[in-house]
A = this chain, B = another copy of it.
Amino acid sequence: MKKLVILGSTGSIGTQTLDIVRQGFPAEICGLCANRNEKLMEEQIREFHPKVVCMADEKAAASLRTRVSDLSVTVLSGEQGIAEMLSVCGANLAVAAMVGISGLLPVITAIGLGMDIALANKETLVAAGDLVMAFAKEQGVKILPVDSEHSAIFQCLLGGHTIKKILLTASGGPFFGRSKEELSLVRAQDALKHPNWDMGQKVTIDSSTLMNKGLEVIEACHLFGVSPDKIEVLVHRQSIIHSMVEFEDNSVIAQLGAPDMRTPISFALSYPERTKFSGDSLNFFDIAALTFDKPDMQAFPCLALAIRAKKEGGAMTAVLNGANESAVAAFLKGECGFLDIPRIVENAMENFTNMQNPTLQDILEADQWAKEFSAKKRI
């Protein structure tokens, strides 16, 4: 259990820290310190039972002593009182949320006592960053950023957390926003013009039907060990955010980059390292806006079919894939229409007698069956 001392407990960060503890975060409140809001400090003492507190302001401390005279809490005061409170409270993590340069000496005292620092007081580093960081290193304590930006950077550099939800982004393909009626007239040459990615023919057609995103949902389930209901597809027209992960604490980590496949390829080649390559950096000032839309499951039924196939499991995803390969090949040859692709896939899925735990041979046979069935049904 974390043992906390909060420097600046009546301020914005201090009260929000206590709110997290109130919600059940497993922590003991060992000490509290505030400037002069003795009324709120009294409430905090009665709720969180620290054994020692300090008011920077002497008058506020005197008034607080009277208010809590029925309790065993020790009330200290002044700058010297803060140092004494830190040394007797027994905390292992100090939340540094005092305002301005006044936070500097208490942070140094806490580091000297071997406490990790949850740092909200940026002035400490602004005024004395070299000293404070060197002292923290020497004492072997962690400086954990609380500023939202620095916490973000810190989180971007870390790994190893459990997925709550995958946010899989989709460009929406060349026909985003079109109705089913409009889609019925689409030909192969229209579908082969993808807005953001330059890819092979099969995957470009799959992009235009959203089957590609459906296949990716299935792929992500296998790669990251999650069920389809933990994956949400977001249409993100700009293809700048390449996907995101949400964690237990609602924090979302995203990977962004120019739509250049060489970035993911080079990462797969150089993993676990990253290597420099000649592609372009993302210029955020060239991006008008990043937007998010719900996928239209009515106009693009392939996405829903893929999710359904994964939920049915067994050899059904092989049938989905086999029927889709057959349908896309026919569409590219002009032998069927755009809306026939989901119809062919659905028809194969509905006529297949599924099996669980298929062998490799079963999967190859299911693929073959789906292709033959789909070719026959088209004629």
Contact = CB atoms under 8 A, between A and B. Distances in A.
Contact of A129 (B131, B219, B262): B219
Interface string A292-316: 1110000000000010000000000
Given A16-B265, A101-B367, A269-B20, A320 B156 contact: no
Nearest to A157: B159
Nearest to A198: B12
The CB with the most chain B CB atoms within 10 A, among A25, A108, A221, A364, is that of A25
- Copies held by the complex: 2
A129 B275 contact: no
What does DSSP make chain A's interface, helix, strand, loop or mixed?
A: mixed
A121 to B, nearest CB: 10
Contacts of A41: none
B360 A108 contact: yes
Interface residues on A, range: 35 or more
B274 A242 contact: no
A167 B284 contact: yes
B258 A275 contact: no
A102 to B, nearest CB: 9
Interface in A48-91: none
A25 B101 contact: no
A16 B200 CA distance: 12
A13 to B, nearest CB: 7
A189 interface: no
A211 to B, nearest CB: 10
Nearest to A221: B129
Contact of A249 (B167, B219, B277): B277
A352 B260 CA distance: 49
Contact of A252 (B249, B256, B293): B256
A123 interface: yes
Contact of A318 (B127, B150, B221, B276): B127
Given A101-B321, A126-B306, A149-B169, 8 more contacts: A12-B200, A122-B215, A152-B244, A153-B166, A154-B267, A165-B281, A249-B274, A252-B256
Interface of A: 2, 4, 11-13, 16-17, 19-20, 23, 25, 27, 93, 95, 99-101, 104, 108, 118-120, 122-123, 125-133, 142-163, 165-169, 197-200, 202-203, 215-216, 218-224, 234, 239, 241-259, 261-282, 284-285, 287-294, 306, 317-318, 320-322, 325, 357-360, 363-364, 366-367
8 closest residue pairs by CB, A with B: A159-B159, A151-B264, A129-B222, A152-B242, A289-B289, A152-B255, A152-B243, A118-B268
